[in-house]
Amino acid sequence: MLGPPGSGKGTQGQILSSRLGIPKIATGDILRAAMKAGTPLGKDAKRFYDAGKLVPDSLILELIKTELAKPEAQQGAIFDGFPRTAAQAELVERTLTAHGQRLAHVLLLDVPEEELVKRLHGRALQEGRTDDTPEAIRTRLLTYHQDTAPLVAYYAQRGVMHRVPGVGTVEEIAEAVKRKLGR
């Protein structure tokens, strides 16, 4: 699941995970759990997370490697929130290849910027995530454009990129995802 913050990656990834019966791996969820539990990873990640910046690859690459090696991910998985940088994309490709697997589909949820800002501010009131402050929201959107958006071209070149309009009801978007994947 690729797409800017607020595009619905988590929601649609969850629906897809239930529908296809394969697990969803979300680096953001793992980081939030690590911060809550106060683990070394959580402590190191917190200041980047709270500022809306990417947690450095030096911390994330190891995390991704560990997740991809888990037995439950061996029959396929939905990746939510990673890869987010070129280095992460390379690691994912290398690790999957080593396991005889590949990234079959990349879904990009297309949502206009004004709608993203509206959703993120709305969610801030409901969920109270520590990175939903106005300043962190601005940084997260900027970071997406700088570091993650270039992956769109990378995956398009590999012929695995699908663009899905990410506006409408949750059900409508889920239906559009289903049509794109053909299952």
d(CA 125, CA 153): 34
Query: Does residue 40 have a cis bond before it (omega within 30 degrees)?
Result: no
Of 5, 8, 13, 166, the residue at the interface with ligand AMP (CB under 6 A) is 5
Give the nearer residue to ligand AMP in terms of CB position, either 28 or 175: 28
Contacts with ligand AMP in 27-86 (CB under 6 A)?
27-28, 31, 48-49, 52-55, 60, 81-82, 84
Secondary structure (3-state) at 70: coil
Task: Reply yes or no on whether 84 is catalytic.
Answer: yes
Residues with Cβ within 8 Å of residue 171, at least 6 apart in sequence? none
The amino acid at 103: L
Task: Reply yes or no on whether 65 is catalytic.
Answer: no
Q: How many residues touch ligand AMP (CB under 6 A)?
A: 17
Task: Reply yes or no on whether 53 is catalytic.
Answer: no
Q: Which residue is nearest to ligand AMP (CB)?
A: 28
What track of x and - describes contact with ligand AMP for positions 108 through 137 (by CB under 6 A)?
-----------------------x------
**Per DSSP, which regions of 81-143 are E strands?**
106-110
Decide if residue 24 touches ligand AMP (CB under 6 A).
Answer: no
d(CA 9, CA 107): 9
C-alpha 13 chain-centroid distance: 9
Residues that bind ligand AMP (CB under 6 A): 5, 27-28, 31, 48-49, 52-55, 60, 81-82, 84, 88, 131, 140
As annotated, the active-site residues are 9, 84, 123, 129, 140
